[in-house]
Amino acid sequence: MKAIVLVGGQGSRLRPITYDVPKAMVPLRNRPFMGYMFDFLKAGGLSGAVLSLGYLPDPIQSYFDGQDLEGFSIDYAVEDRPLGTAGGIKNAEGYLDGGPLVVVNGDVLSGANLREAIEAHEASGALATIVLTSVEDPTAYGLVEVDHDMKVRRFLEKPAADEVTTNLVNAGIYVMEPEVLARIPAGREVSIEREIFPRLQAEGLLGAYVSSSYWRDIGTPRSYLAASQDVLSGAVGAGEGFEFLEVDPSTGRAKGVKILPPVSVAAGCVLGRSATIGGRSALGRGCVVGEGAVVEGSILFDGAEVEPGAVVRGSIIGPNARVGQDAIVRGLSVLGAGCVVGEGNVLDQGVRINPGVVLPPRSMSF
Ligand code: GTP
């Protein structure tokens, strides 16, 4: 059985990072997110995946071309315009073998038991089965009510607090029969959640499988950062030989550097005198952290630089971006690729700085 992985979206909620790096390729513990997705699919017994691509396909294809995935096949179906979540499935149909298939949103990090979900689907007689997961705050999601016989009873789109009848949400993981593909019109934008599933539900053909395993989507800065911290602490995605302290031996460490696990420091980083790399941080290749600077609970993409005395806390620093001397970047701030935060600025409260922007010294404070 193969999977279709939907990775064609623009990832607008994760901008400005996704202007340069597609959501599927953002690093978690210095490994592109798609790597965890393939582990998940392989653990479910699948033999390969078709990546349904649209926005920024090249970085995804070139990363996997020539990689040894131990017998796990990858094909690419590229859209010339966005076809939506069902249109993206239809567009990948030519790479399938005509049997049942798994479909996953390419932004969910999951520890669900995919084999069990497939078995539940096969036993149910449903045309499609949605994996559901429970969330703490259901008002931010589309909720799915389930009958006693595990058929979907009703969809509730982002309900008000007093309308909440369940905390189960669509986990973005589906098992389906090939007949579902025949129900998707070709050549136009179609949504699986809004068009295809409600029709199957109305006919009593939509099953549900509830997973209580780890689940998080990585679609917003907050959830991406949380997913990164979960992977660093081994809560999900920990492979063989997992270690809380993953510091590449090529790392340059001056005197007095403090590194607090869980942490991941990729090759070629340079850590200046008395710098602190606090727990739950990931530093990509070639990052530089200057003297006395502090990085805590953050993600630094490849080539990011934190100058002496600067503090980066709970934030995301894009590729080759630079945080100037004594600047403070905190509170879920997100810096796009190559931007420069001049000396002494303070960034907070989820501020997002677009790629290439240069903030003059001391021009922003909170
Ligand atoms: P936002 O713009 O932040 O909503 O992100 P998104 O559109 O990338 O993701 P969303 O959560 O809305 O979509 C769920 C999954 O479907 C993601 O993995 C997307 O990459 C994927 N997706 C969304 N739209 C399309 C599309 O038109 N074509 C394809 N192939 N995939 C899509």
8-state DSSP, 254: -
* Res 279: pLDDT: 87
* Res 240: pLDDT: 85
Beta bridge partners of 294: 276, 311
**Which of 4, 7, 93, 104 maximizes ligand 1 atoms within 8 Å of its Cβ, making it the mutation to test the pocket?**
7
b/e 135-153 (16+ beta carbons within 10 angstroms → b):
beebeebebbebeeebbbb
For the chain, first and last CA: distance in Å? 53
Query: Residues lining ligand 1, CB < 6 A?
Result: 6-13, 23, 52, 54, 79, 82-85, 88, 105-107, 219
From ligand 1's centre to the CA of 161, what distance in Å? 26
Cα–Cα separations (whole angstroms), residue 59 to 5, 55, 103, 232, 352? 16, 10, 22, 24, 23
Cβ 224 vs Cβ 36: under 8 Å: no
Which run of H or E residues covers position 52?
strand 48-53
Closest-CA residue to 280 (of 298, 259, 258, 254): 298
Closest-CA residue to 37 (of 220, 211, 236): 236
Residue with CA at minimum distance from ligand 1 atom 29:
8
Give the list of residues 6+ apart from residue 47 with CB closer than 8 angstroms, or none.
1, 2, 71, 72, 73
Structure tokens at 25: 């390729």
pLDDT tens track of the chain, all 366 residues? Answer: 999 999 999 999 999 999 999 999 999 999 999 999 999 999 999 999 999 999 999 999 998 887 878 889 999 999 999 999 999 999 999 999 889 999 999 999 999 999 999 999 999 999 999 999 999 888 878 899 999 999 999 998 877 888 888 999 999 999 999 999 999 999 899 999 999 999 999 999 999 999 999 999 999 999 999 999 999 999 999 988 899 999 999 999 999 999 999 999 999 999 999 999 988 999 999 999 999 999 999 999 999 999 999 999 999 999 999 999 999 999 999 999 999 999 999 999 999 999 999 999 999 998
Residue with CA at minimum distance from ligand 1 atom 19:
9
33 burial level (CB within 10 Å; 0-12, 13-18, 19+): buried
Q: Which domains does the chain have, with CATH numbers?
A: 2-233 (3.90.550.10), 245-359 (2.160.10.10)
From ligand 1's centre to the CA of 9, what distance in Å? 3
